Amino acid sequence: MLCIDSRNSNPFFNLAAEEFLLRNSGEEYFMVWQSTPLVVVGKHQNALAEINYRFAKEQGITIARRLTGGGTVYHDGGNINFTFIRKGEPGKLVNFTAFMEPVIAFLNGYGVEAIQGPKHEIMAGGKKISGNAEHVFKDRILHHGTLLFGSDLELLRKVIDHRGGLYTDRAVQSNRSSVLNLSQILSGSLDVSDFRELLFDYVKKYLGGTHAGPDDRRIAAIQKLANDKYSTWEWIYGWSPDYSYENTWEGRQMKIRIELHVHRGMISVCQLNGGQTDLSEVMHLLTGSRHAENNIREALERTGLKNALITEEFEDLVYAFF
């Protein structure tokens, strides 16, 4: 077992590292990492339906998609992410309990009455402190989880509270849970850095692992995967299952009904009803384009709507498409 204490806080790099080590190595791994403020959706989720898009944009919170299924989670500097990559017998690889066991044992050792919950989460005091997910590749499995230590829970609640129109799809839906920071129940003066180091050392010893890190060649390959896949619009938003979107925006002198059908992130049907306002050019420009803010903004600007509305109204109209 090779144990990696990743000090790279770029979430795309760390998500790419998980996939690269899973698919391109025969070794077993344990890794801990942290990231800048981030929302990570599951592989089979509709990213836009899971987030408060405008709030995330205004707060500078990154959106990412991971390789595993399951629901949406929030990362920041107060959250610790842990990853296991192990070999096993095909058909018997999925075993949440086995991977959560050392983490729960570590928490118990510090007086936290942590238990495994019914949805593969770790709970303490009746609240969620860790979400977990898995992905199988041949005879190998990736298991990863979050561990809330001192995250901004108010920011967490706001950024995953979708505000806007109605999305209709068959995507995996998140189950919202009451959450808790470990710093609220731990005694003593541990900070998140201390806690991360203690977790890393405990699991390394528990598994009989050795401290290791990717070599320069692997770092370059991981960064390429981060650039070519994990940080791209096609993966983050375009991978979302097909969906329909409906909303109604109302300004001082105009009301617009928005209806979109989206396939792999691309708008296949755009219906806009603005009453006396002719929106046919906007519909033409948006049909076949990405369901993305820059495309929406450009189409509305090109057709003169920006000049017809005050700045605040125009911004509200742009975000009404999400």
Is residue 41 within 8 A of residue 67, CB to CB? The reply is no
Compute how many other C-beta atoms are within 10 angstroms of the C-beta atom of residue 216: 7
- By C-alpha distance, which of 214, 264, 238 is closest to 13? 214
- For residues 61 and 192, state if they share a domain: yes
- For residues 79 and 171, state if they share a domain: yes
Output the DSSP codes for 69-117: -S--EEE-TTEEEEEEEEE--TTS---HHHHHHHHHHHHHHTT--EEE-
Residue 266's domain spans which residues?
Answer: 243-319
SS3 12: helix
| Sign of the torsion angle spanned by Cα atoms 229, 233, 236, 240 | negative
- For residues 227 and 267, state if they share a domain: no
Rg (CA), the chain: 22
Which CATH number do you get for residue 55? 3.30.930.10
SS3 41: strand
Tokens of 198: 């203690």
- For residues 159 and 308, state if they share a domain: no
- For residues 198 and 313, state if they share a domain: no
Considering only the C-alpha atoms of the chain, give the largest distance between any 2 of them, rounded to a whole number of Å.
71
pLDDT of residue 90: 85
- For residues 180 and 216, state if they share a domain: yes
pLDDT of residue 116: 97
Rounded CA separation 317/282 (Å)? 13
- 42 DSSP assignment: -
- For residues 253 and 216, state if they share a domain: no
- For residues 137 and 250, state if they share a domain: no
pLDDT of residue 195: 97
What's the number of domains the chain is made of? 2
Rounded CA separation 37/39 (Å)? 7
- For residues 226 and 249, state if they share a domain: no
CA distances from 147 to 100, 230, 238 (A): 11, 22, 28
- For residues 120 and 200, state if they share a domain: yes
- For residues 123 and 257, state if they share a domain: no
- Tell me the average confidence (pLDDT) per consecutive run of 10 residues in the chain, 322 residues long: 95 97 96 96 98 98 97 96 95 94 97 95 96 97 98 97 95 92 90 97 97 88 98 98 98 95 98 95 98 97 92 97 98
- CA angle, corner 145, sides to 139 and 150, nearest 5? 165
Rounded CA separation 59/50 (Å)? 16
pTM over 0.75: yes
Domain stop point among 185, 209, 236: 236
Domain stop point among 218, 236, 254: 236
Is residue 243 within 8 A of residue 42, CB to CB? The reply is no
- For residues 287 and 230, state if they share a domain: no
Tokens of 223: 């960064």
Rounded CA separation 64/66 (Å)? 7
pLDDT of residue 299: 97
pLDDT of residue 229: 98
Which CATH number do you get for residue 290? 3.30.390.50
pLDDT of residue 188: 80
Q: Calculate the CA dihedral of residues 60, 61, 64, 68 and round it to 10 degrees.
A: 170
Domain stop point among 215, 236, 257: 236
